Amino acid sequence: MLLDPAAPIRYRGLAIPPEGLGSTLAHQFHKPEVIEVLAELLAARLPNFWLEIQRTAHPDLIQIKKSIELTSFFLNRKGWGFGRERCLYELNPDWHCQSPLLGSYVVVDAEHLLLALERIASAGPPEFDPVDPHVAAFCAARVKRLPDRALMALADPENLTKHRIGMLRLLATVQHLSVQSKLPALAHWFLRLMSPVVESFRNRALRRELAVNFEAASKRGDLAQLLGLIDNEQVRRRDEQGFAQAKAHFAQNARQVKWLQDGGLTSDAQVRRGSGQAATLMSAILSGLTLVFLTLMLVT
Residue 275 pLDDT exceeds 70: no
Local structure of 215: helix, strand or coil:
helix
Q: How far is CA 258 from CA 245, 254, 255, 262, in A?
A: 20, 6, 5, 6
Q: Given this model, what pLDDT does residue 31 score?
A: 87
* Distance of alpha carbon 185 from alpha carbon 223, whole angstroms: 11
Residue 116 in this model has a pLDDT that exceeds 60: yes
Query: What is the rounded CA–CA span in Å between residue 31 and residue 38?
Result: 11
CA distance 149 to 154: 9
Q: Is the pTM of this model over 0.85?
A: no
Reported confidence tier of residue 138, pLDDT bands at 50, 70, 90 = very high
Beta bridge mates, 16: 9
Q: Hey, CA dihedral for 131, 132, 138, 143, is it positive or negative?
A: positive
Q: Give pLDDT tens digits for 177-216.
A: 877 678 888 988 888 887 777 777 777 777 787 778 777 8
How confident is residue 235, by pLDDT bands cut at 50, 70 and 90?
low
pLDDT, position 136 = 93
SS3 content of the chain, % helix, strand, coil (to 5): 70, 0, 30
pLDDT for 274: 61
Non-local (6+) Cβ contacts of 96 within 8 A are 106, 107, 108
DSSP-assigned letter for residue 96: P
Residue 239's nearest CA partner among 207, 195, 193 is 207
pLDDT at 151 over 80: yes
SS3 234: helix
d(CA 142, CA 140): 6
Cα 259 from Cα 150, distance rounded (Å): 52
| pLDDT the model gives residue 270 | 59
Alpha carbon distance 258, 271 (integer Å): 18
Residue-wise pLDDT for 54-103, tens only, equals 877 777 788 888 888 888 888 878 888 888 898 889 888 889 999 999 98
Mean pLDDT of all residues in 271-285: 67
Judge residue 174's burial from the number of C-beta atoms within 10 Å of its C-beta, 0-12 exposed, 13-18 middle, 19 or more buried. buried
pLDDT-above-70 percentage for the chain: 87
Summary mean pLDDT of the chain: 81
CA distance 210 to 9: 57
**Distance (Å, rounded) from C-alpha 102 to C-alpha 113?**
8
Say which amino acid occupies 22.
Answer: G
